[in-house]
Amino acid sequence: MSDNSSGKEITVPPIADELGRVFAGEGFELHLVGGPVRDAVLRRNVSDLDFTTDARPETTEAILRSHCSTVWTTGADFGTIGGMFRGEQVEVTTFRADAYDRVSRNPIVRYGDSLVDDLERRDFTVNAMAVSLPGHEFADPFGGLADIARRTIRTPASPESSFADDPLRMLRAARFAAQLGFDIDPETLDAMRRMAPELARITAERIRDEFNKLMLAPDPVVGLRILIDTGLAEQFLPELPALRMEIDEHAQHKDVYEHSLQVLRNAIALEQAGPDLLLRLAALLHDIGKPETKDIVAGGGVTFHHHDVAGARLARRRMRELKYPKAEVQAVSLLISLHLRFYGYGEAGWTDSAVRRYVTDAGAQLDRLHLLVRSDCTTRNRRKAERLRRDYDAFEDRISRIRAEEDLRAVRPDLDGNAIMELLGLEPGPAVGRAWAYLKELRLERGPMPREEAESELRAWAAREGFAPRQDAG
C-alpha cells in the first residue's frame, strides 16, 4: 500500500468507524492516526485510539458533547479534545502545523488544513500513517509501511529538524527500538549522537516518563544500549555509562555494565505478573556504586567494598532528580542497599535472628529482593551457580518456616507503647520510644516472648537506663 491507496486490509476497531461517520455527518474528515495504525499494520492489539481531524477544537468539542457521555478539554490548548464514546476513551486532535521555539520545546500552536502536513510533524514514519474513517483510505506519505517492512525507525522530516523540535524524540526512538525490536536508521542514529546535549531542554518529568516506558518494554536492554552508545544516557543517568569502565571482580563479564544488563534480563525472566518497573530499575542500578568504591589490591585484584551502600545513595539522588515518587525512590534504594546481604549465608550460616532482620529490613520489598538476589547470579561456573541457587532455595524455605511460627512482616515488640508507659510509669515521649526500640531488638534476637519475660526484660533495661519502674506494676 502506498500513499492514499486502499486501506481495506487494515482492521480498525468498529468504534473508530462509528466516530468517523459522526464527523462525516457534520461535514468533517476524521482519520485514525499514529500508534493505532502502526499496531494494526503489525497485527498488534490496537488501543488508545488517536484521531486527527480538519475540524477546529471548538467544533470538535461540540461534536463530541453531542455524542459522548463525558468530554474533557485538558489538551484544548494543543487542539486535543477527549471523550468517552460508546464506552471507549478517544482523543481527537485538529490537524497541526506547529512551529517550535527550539529553546524550551514549547510549540507555537498553529492549526493546519492538510493531513500530510500533520503527519510530517510526527515523530517517526511508522507513526506517520493514517486511515480515513469510515472510508479506510490509507495515507502513508513518508514511507512508514516500507520502514515497518524493513523494521526501521526513521523520522518523517530530517532527524535534525525533528529532534530540534522535540529532543525527547531521541529517547522515544530508543524506546520504540526496545518495544518493536526495530533498528534505528543510521542517519537518525547519527543525529541522536550529535544532538544528545539537546535533551537538557526537556523537563525531568518527561524524561522520567519516557525512560519508564523504555524500561517496561519487552527487551529494554536494546534501548539501553542505544542510550549509552549515543550519549543520551550521559545526559540524565550518567552512572550507567560509567559502569563500562569498571571490571567486575569476578571476571564474569567484560565489565560491570554488561553484568548489569544481564542481571536486568535475568530479573525480567523471573517476573510472574507482568513488567515490574521497580524490580527492573533495581536490577539495572544495583551496581552503580562500583565506580565510586573501586579499589585495586595487591596482586592486581579489584574490590568494590560497600558499593551496595554507595549505590543506594546514588540511585536515591538520581531518582529524586528525575522526580520519581518518594515511595518508588525508597523501594529501589532499599533493594540496592540489601542486594548483597544474602551472600555468605551458605558458608557462615545465619541465626534465626539474622533471618528475622533480613525479612524485617526488606519489609514490603522482600519478594522483589528475592528476585533481585537470584538475578544477580551471573557466574558461568555451573557448580557455583547451582550452589547459590540451592542456598537461596534453602534460605527462602527457612523464611517460610519461621514465618509460619510468627508474623515476620510486622515484627513488633511483645509490649506496646501503652503497656510500656503503664509498666514504667512514663508519660508519652522519647523514653517510651527508646524502650520500644529495645524490646523490638530483643524480639528480633529471641523471637516471641511470654509477656512475663518481656516485662522482666523491660524492668532490667529500665534499671540500667536509670528509670524507676512503678512498684505496683504486675
Determine contact, residues 171/188, Cβ cutoff 8 Å: no
**Separation in Å, CA 441 to CA 138, 342, 412, 463:** 69, 20, 9, 18
| pLDDT computed for residue 192 by the predictor | 98
Average pLDDT over residues 187-211: 97
pLDDT in tens, 133-182: 999 999 999 999 999 999 999 999 999 999 998 999 999 999 999 999 99
Helix axis angle, 366-375 relative to 382-405, nearest 10°? 170
Percent of the chain with pLDDT over 70: 88
- Which residue(s) pair with 5 in the sheet? 138
The residues, any chain, with a CB within 8 Å of residue 428's CB and separated by 6 or more, are: 417, 421
Determine contact, residues 294/285, Cβ cutoff 8 Å: no
| pLDDT computed for residue 2 by the predictor | 42
Given a cut of 70, whether residue 289 has pLDDT beyond it is: yes
Q: How many CA atoms lie within 13 A of 131 on its CB side?
A: 29
pLDDT band at 213 (very low <50, low <70, confident <90, very high): very high
Average pLDDT over residues 3-7: 45
How many whole angstroms separate alpha carbon 249 and alpha carbon 370? 23
Determine contact, residues 5/129, Cβ cutoff 8 Å: no
| pLDDT computed for residue 341 by the predictor | 87
b/e map 63-87, b = 16+ CB within 10 Å: bbeebbeebbeeeeeebbbbbebee
Given a cut of 70, whether residue 344 has pLDDT beyond it is: no
pLDDT band at 24 (very low <50, low <70, confident <90, very high): very high
Q: What is the DSSP letter of 72?
A: E
Given a cut of 90, whether residue 266 has pLDDT beyond it is: yes
The residues, any chain, with a CB within 8 Å of residue 394's CB and separated by 6 or more, are: 346
pLDDT in tens, 360-410: 899 999 999 999 999 998 877 788 888 888 888 888 888 888 877 666 555
Given a cut of 80, whether residue 118 has pLDDT beyond it is: yes
Q: Give the DSSP letter string of 127-172.
A: GS-EEETTT-EEE-TT-HHHHHHHTEE--SS-HHHHHHH-THHHHH
Given a cut of 80, whether residue 291 has pLDDT beyond it is: yes
Place of cell 520504540: 176
What integer best gives the mean pLDDT of the chain? 87
pLDDT in tens, 45-102: 877 789 999 999 999 999 999 999 999 999 888 899 999 999 999 999 999 875 555 5
How many whole angstroms separate alpha carbon 243 and alpha carbon 263? 14
Given a cut of 70, whether residue 250 has pLDDT beyond it is: no
pLDDT band at 130 (very low <50, low <70, confident <90, very high): very high
How many whole angstroms separate alpha carbon 367 and alpha carbon 449? 27
Q: How many CA atoms lie within 13 A of 200 on its CB side?
A: 7
| pLDDT computed for residue 470 by the predictor | 54
Element (H, E) at 70: strand 70-72
How many whole angstroms separate alpha carbon 385 and alpha carbon 90? 50
| pLDDT computed for residue 104 by the predictor | 56
| pLDDT computed for residue 80 by the predictor | 94
Determine contact, residues 133/16, Cβ cutoff 8 Å: yes
Element (H, E) at 94: strand 88-94
| pLDDT computed for residue 105 by the predictor | 54
Q: Helix, strand, or coil here: 336?
A: helix
φ, ψ for residue 88, nearest 5 deg: -115, 145
Determine contact, residues 130/119, Cβ cutoff 8 Å: yes
| pLDDT computed for residue 1 by the predictor | 37
Given a cut of 60, whether residue 122 has pLDDT beyond it is: yes
Given a cut of 70, whether residue 348 has pLDDT beyond it is: no
Q: Give the DSSP letter string of 170-183.
A: HHHHHHHHHHH-PE
Place of cell 551496595: 308
Mean pLDDT is lowest, of 198-212, 231-245, 318-332, 416-430, for 416-430
Q: How many CA atoms lie within 13 A of 73 on its CB side?
A: 11
Average pLDDT over residues 215-227: 97
Determine contact, residues 35/127, Cβ cutoff 8 Å: yes
| pLDDT computed for residue 97 by the predictor | 72
| pLDDT computed for residue 77 by the predictor | 86
Percent of the chain with pLDDT over 90: 57
| pLDDT computed for residue 252 by the predictor | 41
